[in-house]
Amino acid sequence: MTIDFAEILLARQRIAGRVLRTPQRNAVALSARLGVPVQIKCEHHQTTGSFKLRGATNAVLALDPAQRDAGVVAASTGNHGRALASAARSAGTRAVICMSRLVPANKVRAIEALGAEIHIVGNSQDDAQLEVDRLVSEAGLTQVPPFDHAEVIAGQGTLGLEMLEDAPRTTTVLVPLSGGGLLAGVALALRTLNPAIRIIGVTMERGAAMRASLDAGRPVAVEELPTLADSLGGGIGLENRHTFGMVRDLVDEVVLVSEADIAAAIRSAYFEEGEVLEGAAAVGIAALHTGKVTLTGPAVVLLSGKNIDMDLHRRIVSGETPDLAAERDHG
Ligand SMILES: *Cc1c(COP(=O)(O)O)cnc(C)c1O
């Protein structure tokens, strides 16, 4: 294990007052349906709309003064990009977010509005990453990756502390899973505080990179497919250093949910719990609704973000299950 529980406690002190301690509450409809108390940890209410602010803030505050003067850089256009821009601004540090020409204008503007400099280069994520590498080697910026990084994992782990403080008798926790920074950090916190707790990662059938890697016994690449859980897309990195081993050693089970399951969970979160969720955040509810996870005692479901295109959200709550792969291929 490369990361120690003490780093999560240190992260909590560092980020205190800079991120919200988000509410956790009883999910009335879900509890009634399942016959056991289920709480939702409403991390989608976090500043910037996702938990990624925790890890990014911890990583920025852990820089030494010279690194802080030079600034931070990343290639993410999604929740990590937003979080890093916001974390750097609140610490008074420069942030550069690199993206390709194909990134939609609204995403570019959202990150620019958070105070980051935008570098638009090339036509792919790989081209954007080359610009990150250039800024690291030529201008001395520090790259902050989205999940496979000790301070990022420790920052996300602060969620595990809060969940157990607010529901000490929890027996099962469900956490969305992609690269595994969130799950690794939360699992380290939970496992340390309660060795008997059941920890479940949930991801989508379309492109489940961590699950395929666990099955193979080593990090493997999977084909990336359009999904309603777009924040769960991408691989775990073939050179994975932290999250693969932590998820393998600390997590009980990784379950997969379908596009239809995700759409139904977004709908029920909206109509039954009054919450707007992006697809990635709805996978825990989906795993419970479908019976892919059954509960024998009190549970907490982590809701990880709310940054969904509102037109897409409107279509889903109107009853549609949009097939994003078909829409991409046929316009
Ligand atoms: C990034 C993200 C995840 C997955 O986090 P990992 O650390 O990559 O596993 C889940 N939900 C949302 C909303 C995210 O932005």
Which atom of ligand 1 approaches the CA of 278 most closely?
13
Is the CB of residue 181 below 6 angstroms from any atom belonging to ligand 1?
A: yes
CA dihedral 126, 326, 205, 314 (to 10 degrees): 100
Q: Which residue has the tokens 């620019």?
A: 112
Is the CB of residue 84 below 6 angstroms from any atom belonging to ligand 1?
A: no
Is the CB of residue 304 below 6 angstroms from any atom belonging to ligand 1?
A: yes
Please indicate, yes or no, whether residues 276 and 306 belong to a single structural domain of this protein.
Answer: yes
Q: Which pLDDT value is given to residue 331?
A: 56
Please indicate, yes or no, whether residues 195 and 265 belong to a single structural domain of this protein.
Answer: yes
CA of 2 to the centre of ligand 1 (A): 21
Q: Is 274 exposed, middle or buried (0-12, 13-18, 19+ CB in 10 A)?
A: exposed
Please indicate, yes or no, whether residues 192 and 275 belong to a single structural domain of this protein.
Answer: yes
Is the CB of residue 278 below 6 angstroms from any atom belonging to ligand 1?
A: yes
Close Cβ partners of 321 (under 8 Å, ≥ 6 residues apart): 259, 260, 263, 264
Residues of the chain with pLDDT under 50: none
Please indicate, yes or no, whether residues 122 and 153 belong to a single structural domain of this protein.
Answer: no
Nearest CA-CA partner of 63 in 87, 46, 99, 82: 87
Please indicate, yes or no, whether residues 253 and 300 belong to a single structural domain of this protein.
Answer: yes
Structural domain boundaries enclosing 69: 53-143
Please indicate, yes or no, whether residues 44 and 57 belong to a single structural domain of this protein.
Answer: no
Last residue of a domain, one of 122, 143, 164: 143
CA of 48 to the centre of ligand 1 (A): 13
Can you tell me the distance from the alpha carbon of 283 to that of 202, in angstroms, rounded to the nearest whole number?
A: 6
Q: Among 204, 231, 257, 308, which is best to mutate for testing ligand 1, by the most ligand atoms less than 8 A from CB?
A: 231
Q: Which pLDDT value is given to residue 14?
A: 98
Please indicate, yes or no, whether residues 24 and 104 belong to a single structural domain of this protein.
Answer: no
Please indicate, yes or no, whether residues 137 and 182 belong to a single structural domain of this protein.
Answer: no
Is the CB of residue 48 below 6 angstroms from any atom belonging to ligand 1?
A: no
Q: Looking at residue 212, which CATH number applies to its domain?
A: 3.40.50.1100
Is the CB of residue 57 below 6 angstroms from any atom belonging to ligand 1?
A: no
Count up the domains in the chain and report the number.
2
CA of 304 to the centre of ligand 1 (A): 7
Q: Among 44, 79, 262, which is best to mutate for testing ligand 1, by the most ligand atoms less than 8 A from CB?
A: 79
The whole-model pTM stands at: 0.97
Is the CB of residue 232 below 6 angstroms from any atom belonging to ligand 1?
A: yes
Q: Which pLDDT value is given to residue 106?
A: 83
| Ligand 1 atom 7: residue of nearest CA | 181
Last residue of a domain, one of 110, 143, 176: 143
Provide the residue count of the chain.
331
Segment holding 170, helix H or strand E: none
CA of 277 to the centre of ligand 1 (A): 13
Q: What is the DSSP string of 107-130?
A: HHHHHHHTT-EEEE-SSSHHHHHH
Please indicate, yes or no, whether residues 257 and 136 belong to a single structural domain of this protein.
Answer: no
Please indicate, yes or no, whether residues 46 and 59 belong to a single structural domain of this protein.
Answer: no
**Residue 174, φ and ψ in degrees, nearest 5:** -115, 130
Range 175-210 burial, b when 16+ CB lie within 10 A, else e: bbbbbbbbbbbbbbbbbbebeebbbbbbbbebbbbb
| Ligand 1 atom 14: residue of nearest CA | 231
Please indicate, yes or no, whether residues 61 and 183 belong to a single structural domain of this protein.
Answer: no
Q: What is the pLDDT of residues 116-157, one digit of tens each?
A: 999 999 988 888 999 999 999 999 999 999 999 999 999 999
Last residue of a domain, one of 107, 122, 143: 143
Please indicate, yes or no, whether residues 203 and 302 belong to a single structural domain of this protein.
Answer: yes
Q: Which pLDDT value is given to residue 184?
A: 98
Asked if 193 and 9 touch (Cβ cutoff 8 Å), the reply is no
